[in-house]
Amino acid sequence: FFSAVALTVKQRFFLTILVLAFPLSAISGDPDIISDFVIPMGVNNTLLDGNFFTYTGMRPLINSDPPTNFTVTKAAMAEFPALNGQSVSYAVLQNPAGSVNPPHTHPRATELLFLTYGVLEVGFVDTTNKLFTQRLQAGDIFAFPKGLVHYQFNCAENDFVVAVSAFGSAAAGTVSVPSTVLATGIDDEILAKSFKTDVYTIQKLKAGFAPKA
């Protein structure tokens, strides 16, 4: 009897540790690697050279015309395999006048934004629902804490914005609040109750995210 009880206690303790450890592992940063870098499957490491550690996907931005739409050019693990295991990635944001990068989160990384041209209004909301905003000028840096909802808005009427964002993950991930809520099939009635409105309003909002023919 006592041995069975003791075993049950041990099992419960073990399960408790697993439950507590799971969220910690889920919110931690990229896992550490035990080699200098990660070689992609099927690649002969003896043939690697400096090209593997060079990403040229940003070159077209150098002499490009001012943006006409909000665009993000990424250098993350998907585009730049050498970043696997290095816990870092980049993105270049281009905002034409009056454009917005809608509220979104990066579940796996803090974002450090460096404004290189223009004036940019930024903000994020913490877990107490407090809004932190700032109007950045070229040369300013702003930190968006990991996992918190944030946005960027080009408040200028006649000028574009260029910013470079660094992330503390090779695959920071992006969860867009509007498209995640309105374009993933969540039931209209559930959304209407959640936003304290009616189904008709939700359907009108969803229509804006419908695929264009």
* 73 touches 61 (CB < 8 A): yes
Q: pTM for this one?
A: 0.81
Q: Is 82 among the domain residues?
A: yes
Sequence ranges of the binding site for oxalate: 101, 106, 111
Q: Specify whether 79 is located in the same domain as 153.
A: yes
Q: Is 162 among the domain residues?
A: yes
The domain total for the chain is: 2
What burial class does residue 26 get, using C-beta atoms within 10 Å of its C-beta: 0-12 exposed, 13-18 middle, 19+ buried? Answer: exposed
Q: Is 147 among the domain residues?
A: yes
Alpha helices in the chain (DSSP H): 2-27, 59-62, 177-182, 188-194, 199-207
Sequence ranges of the binding site: 101, 104, 106, 111, 150
pLDDT digits (tens, 9 = 90+) for 151-205: 999 999 899 999 999 999 999 999 999 999 999 999 999 999 999 999 999 999 9
Give mean pLDDT, residues 27-42: 82
Q: Specify whether 114 is located in the same domain as 183.
A: no
Residue 130 sits in a domain whose CATH number is 2.60.120.10
Sequence ranges of the binding site for Mn(2+): 104, 106, 111, 150
Q: Is 206 among the domain residues?
A: yes
Residue 175 pLDDT? 96
Q: Specify whether 111 is located in the same domain as 74.
A: yes
Confidence grade of residue 30 (pLDDT, cut at 50, 70, 90): confident
Segment (H or E) for 100: strand 100-105
Residue 66 pLDDT? 87
Beta-bridge mates of residue 133: 123
